[in-house]
Amino acid sequence: MLVREAKLLNGTAEQYQALDEAIRTAQFVQNKCLRYWMDNRGATKAVLYSLCKDLAKEFPFARQLNSAARQASAERAWSALSNFYRRCKNKEPRKGYPQFKKNCRSVEYKLSGWKLSPDGMSITFTDGFNAGTFALYCNGEARHHILNSKINRVRVIRRADGYYAQFCLDVERKEQGEYTGNVIGIDLGWKAFYTDQNGNSVECPKFLRRSERRLKQHQRRLSQYREEYTTSLAL
């Protein structure tokens, strides 16, 4: 799979507001699926899919979101649940209990709910929110891949500098490099990222754990600074 990104331009304030509403609705569906799992332990992925239909019948704004986009939001919730089950099964120290999403920044469409122009210069979102047509700003290579590849999913992402569309393409990635001809076997695992046949291993990056440790250090430093400041004022 290959991902190519383009910025969504030339939209009005109402159009971008429609994208915001679609993103909030996707967050609503994802949180509802998680809430249903908490109340009904043992719920499967198929049950969460059927819940999307019930939400569309109960809430008019949920019905405006494309049905495939609702299923994609349920898949996000199920991905968090399956990762939680996996960590519990492997007895990892931190299980990562699924959390409700507060600031979701993306909505994902599958094969419907959007339409790409023949020249690849614009995209139109056709679900109930009627976001309309946006110009696609990207380089020529990305536009060539988007036009000449099968698009499995389109993800709309809200960032600080605007809105972007990510195209998930069904293509085989080809990496260029200097090949020596030597063959070596590797084994991917949970404790180590991989271990080769010679016994050499590479540890997992664990960016989140390192960031959490740094956050705790900064919090302790801030707490100590506040205590010293309060003491100086008392004197």
Q: Is residue 9 part of a domain?
A: yes
Q: Is residue 68 part of a domain?
A: yes
The domain boundary, picked from 124, 149, 169, lies at: 169
Q: Is residue 194 part of a domain?
A: no
pLDDT per residue as tens digits for the range 162-203: 999 999 998 887 777 777 778 888 888 877 888 888 888 888
pLDDT per residue as tens digits for the range 121-149: 999 999 999 999 999 999 988 999 999 88
Residue 45 buriedness (CB in 10 A; 0-12 / 13-18 / 19+): middle
Domain that holds residue 215: 205-235
Same domain (yes/no): 123, 226: no
Q: Is residue 193 part of a domain?
A: no
DSSP 37-61: HHHSTT--HHHHHHHHHHHHHH-HH
Q: Is residue 154 part of a domain?
A: yes
Alpha helices per DSSP H over 40-150? 45-58, 60-64, 67-89, 140-147
In contact, 148 and 18? CB cutoff 8 Å: no
For residue 27, count other CB atoms closer than 10 A to its CB.
Answer: 20
For the chain, the domain total comes to 2
- What's the pLDDT at 152? 93
Same domain (yes/no): 129, 38: yes
Does residue 235 carry a pLDDT above 80? Answer: no
The domain boundary, picked from 145, 169, 193, lies at: 169
Q: Is residue 90 part of a domain?
A: yes
Same domain (yes/no): 220, 150: no
